[in-house]
Chain A
Amino acid sequence: MTLKVIPEKCAGCHICELVCSLYHFKVNNPKKSRIRVQTLFPEPGINKPVVCRQCKKPACMEACPEGAITIEQGTVKLNPQKCTGCKKCLEACPFGALFTHPDIPYPLKCDLCNGDPQCLICPKGAIVFVPREDRSGSHRNQSKD
């Protein structure tokens, strides 16, 4: 299973970011979330959520020199204990779906909340949880930003 985002539905409310930071760190801090919403106005005039796609062949995993990123039952996971904070994974991800925060020594990466993604609280239904094969291929055309 993986998360799929539908930017046309996103309103840019940042509720997904809040619930993410509350679930993982018990704090209200969108800057500590593993999903980010870019509000791009006036051009191109859209709200765009960005979150890890749980790639089959993750570029982040390949780039990690420490073996800190692994696939566990289809979910791409980052082990903070093994991570040295080199950020090579950030550079490697073509979707810009790993994030950093000044207080946290490792990159923030979506772990699907142990199978119960909190961001599905989205009031617009702009985030859905689908089998990986159901995710549309259109993301290949999306730019990295």
Chain B
Amino acid sequence: MMGGYMNRILRIDLSKEKIGEEKPNKDWAIKYIGGRGWGARKVWESGIDVDPFGPDNLIFFASGPLTGLLVPSAGKMTIVSISPATRIYADSSVGGAFGAELKQAGYDAIALSGVSKKPVYIMIDDGDVEIRDAEEYWGMGALATEERLKKDIGDNGIHVLSIGPAGEKLVKFACITSDYGRNAGRTGMGAIMGSKRVKAIVVRGFKDIPVADVDRFMEIAYDSFNSIYENEFLDIWQRQGTLQVIAWANERGVLPTRNFQETMFEHAEEIGGDKMEEVKTTDRACFACPMTCGNYCVIREGDTKVVVEGPEYETAAMLGSACGIKDLKTVIKANNLCDDLGIDTISSGNLVGLLMEAYERGILTKEDTGGIELKFGDGEALLKILEMIAKREGIGEIVAEGVRTVTEKWREMKPFAIQAKGLEQSAYDTRASPGMALAYATCDVGAHHSRAWVISKDLEMQNKWTAEERAKLVIYHQHIRPLFDCLGVCRLEWIELSVDENIYAEFYTAVTGVKTTLKKLLERSEAIYNLTRAINILKGMSREDDYPPERFFREPVPTGPLKGKLLQREEYDNLLDTYYRLRGWNSRGVPTERTLTRLGLRDVALKLRKSGKI
């Protein structure tokens, strides 16, 4: 077998309490690379016509061939399943060190199916696997669970994935937490774990991760680390991490403010990176990461101490400016609360912002909110409502179902719900950036920034580039950014610190012993994007689901440098057509037989044809 892989997938059927394993064959492993690619294919193979919370829905946790090695930020793992929120393909990646430890324990990936009769946690101890009773942990917070498991197992060095009460209660944007504050946040992976009654997965391992050509590997590794050390932006990334983006987004006029009504926040400084540095006590890096973008913050109020890893940009924007919250203390408290309850800060902030606007417009009343004055900027109201959502109390029962259910219950909210495919949009306003609007709208998991991030270039170019150039960049991003999620490393060193993308192909070659180029890896990533698209098409998605939120076509940006901007429907129609054409998809957004065949996905084409989609 090749280097880089442990060559074993752990399989657990929770209904039968059966533990087994499988060895992926070499061609399959190469074709789907690892991480998100392996997960997408496994979910496809196990069957996508499933109830997300049923026993047949597979949840797949996968590292990549570079995870756990001396590669810049090689602690990444991706969790893949069919989402309960969007009911389509879903993945969410998580940093920290769980992925690295999983490989040291002897496994590349974990496939969970079935539903346990009672709450359990899974212990993976250097190749020995046990399903253990978790009755005493059920009901606990996600962070508290990690602390308790470390204590009970008697080893602070173990790594834990855990869910909070929100995951247990099947909140559709429940997340999975690891390493005290790293989250697989999006698409409700925590709810799937909860539906299977798995409170946590614990891992510990001592094994070597094989590398085909270790001398060459070390050369590349040292070169890449040295290039990072010379980068002028390393310092600000180490000091502020992603929170520095608040200032950038605000200056450009793309910072979601009061539920995406405005794009500049008058209190942006109060929730930004400089303010955070005042309460930061130490750095928290993911495995093998020289950027160390995680920040550990501590605040005190009287006798209470609140700690958090973060806040990240997305969290500070969505729980901060998008809810009109103007102080970092409240953002930190809300962040910690979300982490422990186990809900995604992005979806949560997006939804609370939506509710606040609805309340101010009189669509919601105190009767709906259980007496809470749910106004923008009210920190206490934010904290209270977050808890109600996670625990499904009062109005939280409906909000816990996600944006789709909320806008079905209160149809008047639909025009200002900022989402795509049923996933609440993350923290960029795209009214002045058709390219970023396209990126969100065609992201395979819903309105998430992880696939393509072209807003900076788009704002710079404005009308100076063609629809074709715009769509091409979105497509390139949609291939290269998820490639990092296949390889099992973080993309930030490439994006922010100028690590040459070709280095990752060199890493792959030295590690696996299988010669490759960036071009070939990108083609694999394109195949994976087409596979996830095919899953979504079979799950009922079509062209209409590739559109940005209504608000961005109707309401011009009210203030700031982008004042007056809004998306034009005709321009967007044309952009989407161009995007489909360049991808080799038909005008309904379905990959053609020719495209799928070119990418080695004949079986996928066959299924689409059988279902009458092509």
Q: Is A86 an interface residue (CB 8 A)?
A: no
Supposing A41-B296, A103-B206 touch, asked if A15 and B229 sit within 8 A by C-beta, the answer is: no
Q: Do residues B282 and A8 form an inter-chain contact, with CB atoms below 8 A?
A: yes
B498 at interface by CB-CB < 8 Å: no
What is the number of contacts between chain A and chain B, taking CB atoms within 8 Å?
102
Task: Tell me the chain B residues, 267-303 only, with Cβ under 8 Å from chain A.
Answer: 281-292, 294, 296, 298
Question: Which residue from A11, A26, A27 sits with its C-beta under 8 Å from B283?
Answer: A11
Binds A, one of B207-215, B242-250, B423-431, B535-543: B207-215
Q: Interface 1/0s, chain B 183-226, versus A by CB < 8 A?
A: 00000000000000000000001111101001000100010010
Bound form: Cα–Cα A31–B101 in Å: 10
What is the size, in residues, of chain B's interface with A at 8 Å between Cβ atoms? 44
A63 contacts the other chain (CB 8 A): no
Q: A25: which B residues are within 8 A, CB to CB?
A: 208
Contact of A42 among B147, B205, B285, B288 (CB under 8 A): B147
A19 to chain B, nearest CB (A): 7
> A13 to B287, Cβ gap below 8 A?
yes
A46 to B156, CA, bound (A): 13
Shortest distance between the CB of A100 and any CB in chain B (Å)? 10
Interface centre among A28, A29, A101, A102 (most CB of B within 10 A): A28
Name B70's contact: one of A10, A18, A46, A47 (CB within 8 Å): A18
Tell me how far the C-beta of A77 lies from the nearest C-beta in chain B, rounded to whole angstroms: 24
B441 to chain A minimum Cβ distance, whole angstroms, is: 36
- B578 CB to closest chain A CB, in angstroms? 42
Would you call B180 an interface residue if the criterion is a C-beta within 8 Å of the partner chain's C-beta atoms? yes
**CB-based contact A124/B283 at 8 Å:** yes
| Docked-complex contact B288 and A15, CB < 8 angstroms | yes
Give chain A's interface residue range (CB within 8 Å of chain B). Answer: 20 to 34
Bitwise, A34-72 to B at CB < 8 A (1) or not (0) is: 000011111001110000000000000000000000000
A6 and B292 CA atoms in complex are apart in Å by 16
User: Contacts A40-B156, A42-B143 known; A18 to B288 CB distance under 8 Å?
Assistant: yes
Are A13 and B292 closer than 8 Å at their CB atoms? yes
- In the complex the two chains form, what is the Cα distance from A15 to B143 in whole Å? 25
Report yes or no: B282 in contact with A28, Cβ–Cβ below 8 A: no
A12 to B218, CA, bound (A): 21
Q: How far is the CA of A56 from the CA of B126 in the complex (A)?
A: 37
Q: Give the distance in Å from the alpha carbon of A39 to the alpha carbon of B96 in the complex.
A: 11
- From A27, A29, A38, A45, B282 is in contact (CB under 8 Å) with A45
A15 / chain B contacts, CB cutoff of 8 Å: 70, 225, 288-290
CA distance A103 to B286 in the complex (A): 26
Closest to B226 in A: A121
A14 at the interface (CB under 8 A from B): yes
Chain B residues lying within 8 Å of A39, measured Cβ to Cβ, are 156, 179, 284
B310 an interface residue at 8 Å Cβ cutoff?
Answer: no
Chain A residues lying within 8 Å of B206, measured Cβ to Cβ, are: 29, 31, 101-103
A42 and B211 form a contact (CB under 8 A): no
A42-B180, A45-B281, A47-B282 known; A121 vs B208 contact (CB < 8 Å):
no
Is A22 in the interface zone, CB < 8 Å from B?
A: yes
Whether A22 touches B214, Cβ cut-off 8 Å, given contacts A42-B180, A45-B296, is yes
Q: Which 8 residue pairs across A and B have the least CB separation, nearest first?
A: A123-B290, A11-B283, A13-B285, A11-B292, A11-B285, A27-B208, A18-B70, A41-B180
Further contacts, 17 of them, CB under 8 A, given A13-B292, A39-B179: A11-B282, A13-B285, A13-B287, A14-B288, A15-B288, A27-B209, A27-B211, A27-B214, A28-B209, A31-B205, A45-B281, A45-B296, A45-B307, A47-B282, A47-B284, A102-B126, A121-B225
